[in-house]
Amino acid sequence: SLRRARFSLGRNFLVLTSRGGHPLPPLHFHRGGTRELLRALQFIHDPYATTFGGFSKVTNFFRAALRPPDSPAHSRPAQDPSLPSQPDDEPGFELITCLGPRPDVTRGRPLGNWEEFLDSEGRVKNPEKVKELVFRGGITPSLRKEIWKFLLGFYPWNSTTKEREDILRVKTDEYFRMKVQWKSVSEEQEMRNSLLRGYRNLIERDVNRTDRHNTFFSGNDNPGLTLLHDVLMTYCMYNFDLGYVQGMSDLLSPILFVTQNEVESFWCLVFIFSSLQHQNFEESQEAMKQQLLQLSVLLKALDPELCDFLDSQDSGSLCFCFRWLLIWFKREFSFEDILILWEVLWTRLPCDNFHLLIACAILQSQRGELIGSDHDFNTILKHINELTMKLDLLSMLRGAEAIYLQLVRCKDLPLKVQQVLGLYVPSSSDEESPDSQSSETQRLLAQSQAAAAASSSACGSSSP
């Protein structure tokens, strides 16, 4: 990010700050020169392939900050077509000029006729149609208890009624075997097991402050709180390496509220951590960093001006969105809205990263408030946190879907954006090998992560 200062004697200086928040030595311009610096930057055909790689992300902000108010915006020079293309080492810097208008999107009615989707033996005849209807309008509240168990992997879509009875019996036995393990630990044993003791303390603390406004969890000695505690403790026995991390109670409470069943809610939670948010709670936080990077890629494609502003206020890392992505907006919307939002997200339509598009929709809904005011890092964080319970879910869902449609209609969508949206299509040579698409995607993702790490390191350890 960039801080710019002017003194009455005419001396200017610029201070660059790394993404980690560490200021670099100031650049002093005692006899002017800021405009000359801008002009020099404009002659760089490809900032990613030069020593200005770490400096390139602030080029757009230089334009906005240093040019006279009445001067026209400078355009980025086109790359010489005779030169080989260079990798996009700075995620999200590539400008998109092919975005068309954002389409209008309408929502549908909640899914209400469940029986018509079941055959005579109880199999779901058309799972994709069910998911499409859930994505479009959610689920009638009285049917959530049944349909959620399909969305969350407790029951296979092609299972019969008889098979589901067998599954429930097996899963119930397995659950209570694990529950007995921690229930049978004596106080003396627990004193010699610091990990289990630590997990129990964290769970008891978080359970006592999770959704206490909801009647299912309100009051003292509430059986709902006991179920919440027991499911989380049993999960620790199921996955002792991960154990309990703050935020898990937020993900469990709506599931437990809907199913009102200890066993079913446990296995639904297992599915969430293993398939949907399996790395969000790992200590390294690599998955969260990757999602913030992907969110930055999307936002830069949609709204470069907003990204430049956030960069200028030390907020380009989008760290204020961390809670949104960790627990899927649980604290941003009402409890009733979260039930709708999550069942929409669990369909994984129209892409696995639809939650990132919702984050984009929220940020763009606030762009006028952010850009049009005197916000700095602290006030941006304060403003975002104060959005809790003030957002309209249906507007955000419509906005997120409209963003998706706007992006997929772009013919020259950058590869990184395609990857985030799951649109990457292999070349004909890749299609010849059944394993090539997966390996190529992994290679590109690894290349992107390595480049982002190298760029961040360069910004933090050297001055331009």
CA atoms of 258 and 254, how far apart (whole Å): 6
Say if CB 296 and CB 316 are below 8 A apart.
Answer: yes
CA atoms of 43 and 31, how far apart (whole Å): 22
As a three-state string, the secondary structure of 352-378 is CCHHHHHHHHHHHHCHHHHHCCCCCHH
Fold of 140-276: Helicase, Ruva Protein; domain 3 (1.10.8)
DSSP one-letter code for 19: T
Burial of 327 (0-12, 13-18, 19+ CB in 10 A): buried
Contacts of 161 (CB under 8 A, 6+ apart): 121, 122
Q: Identify the helix (H) or strand (E) that includes residue 29.
A: strand 27-29
Q: Identify the helix (H) or strand (E) that includes residue 119.
A: none
Q: Which residue has the tokens 């940020």?
A: 363
Q: Identify the helix (H) or strand (E) that includes residue 447.
A: helix 436-461
Domain map of the chain by residue range? 2-66, 140-276, 286-340+349-461
Say if CB 203 and CB 229 are below 8 A apart.
Answer: yes
CA atoms of 289 and 27, how far apart (whole Å): 30
pTM: 0.73
Burial of 100 (0-12, 13-18, 19+ CB in 10 A): exposed
CA distances from 179 to 41, 109, 184, 272, 367 (A): 63, 40, 9, 19, 48
| Ranges in the chain, pLDDT < 70 | 1-26, 28-97, 278, 425-464
Query: Residue 17: beta bridge partners?
Result: 23
CA atoms of 184 and 195, how far apart (whole Å): 16
- Domain 286-340+349-461 homologous superfamily, CATH: Ypt/Rab-GAP domain of gyp1p, domain 3 (1.10.472.80)
